[in-house]
Amino acid sequence: MSISLRSRFWRMVLRRMFKNQKTTIVALRANSANNSKMLGKVSKTTQVERVDIDGIQAEWLKPLSASQVKVILYLHGGGYVTGSIEDHRMMCGLLAESAGVKVLIPEYRLAPEYPFPAALDDSLKVFHWLLAHGYLPKNIVIAGDSAGGGLSLAVVLALKEKNAPLPAAVMCLSPWADLALTGQSHTTKAKAEVILSKDVLHEWALCYADESNRTNPLVSPVYGDFQGFPPLLIQVGSEEILLDDSTLLAEKARSAGVDVTLKIWDGMWHVWQALGNLLPENKKTFEEIGEFVSARFIREK
């Protein structure tokens, strides 16, 4: 299936911006802050509210028509070394509107200043904060993109280890689920990839976890035990080096009896959803997400 001309344009722009460009983490964070000028906007019908969660800064996105009892806990991507509420606000605003629920985005601590398990600990704290404030596990979906997708999986694996209540579902957009970087797509999709490179991912992985810990399931969830895991939606582009993270994750989860929905979007790149309404394809992308979330909440009533 051919992608739209507008998406072809943005794919070219992103390739020129990111592909094979070596940069420091400080520069990455500066770029993230700059990108938030474009990616930090939401519709006038979505309320934005800052909240402090025991020292963790977070933000509510609340569409006017959103359910008051259902929530998506969204963990942003950025390779565990960058990313923020601001550069994910537009995407999460569309997510909230499509699903008809509130979205909560926390600013978990970043590596290398705060390596594993800081991001996981912060995310678990936010999940338990939701429970303490009256949100039922069956009314919570945990979601994330890239590293945030992997972190979403790790949160549920950690909860499962402790026999704690699990969310209604998990949703991953282009998840980075294998920090050991073993997937064949790192080679087979290297030329097609628009944004990432294996060398850069290796550098970020070592900022987050040391070499000996990269196959720890709470670092690389693809190595985890998915028995009893909640329903899982995975969206991934066909042209990204993390494609195998998604296909291996889906295979592993299905073999454990998990209800898995894997959607491979032909011609799309790593976390294309972040460009929101700038891409015609995202109308269907977010409809797909909204349908999944709505179905899980209805089923869990």
Looking at the annotation, which residues are catalytic?
146, 240, 270
- Kindly state the tokens that stand for 273: 């959803």
What pairing do the DSSP bridges indicate for beta strands 232-237 and 260-265? parallel
Strand pairing partners for 62? Answer: 47
Question: Could you please report the per-residue DSSP string of 108-167?
Answer: ---TTTS-TTHHHHHHHHHHHHHHHTT--GGGEEEEEETHHHHHHHHHHHHHHHTT----
Instruction: State the number of CA atoms in the 13 A half-sphere of 235 facing the CB.
Output: 24
Q: What angle do CA 49, 70, 233 make, to 5 degrees?
A: 105
The rounded distance, in Å, linking the Cα atoms of 45 and 115 is: 37
Q: Are residues 38 and 95 in contact, defined by beta-carbon separation less than 8 angstroms?
A: no
How far apart are alpha carbons 276 and 283 in whole angstroms?
A: 8
Q: Please give the sequence-ordered ranges of beta strands (E in DSSP) within 24-131, or none if there are none.
A: 46-53, 56-63, 67-75, 101-106
Give CA–CA dist 288/160, Å, rounded: 27
Q: Rounded distance, CA 119 to CA 295, Å? A: 29
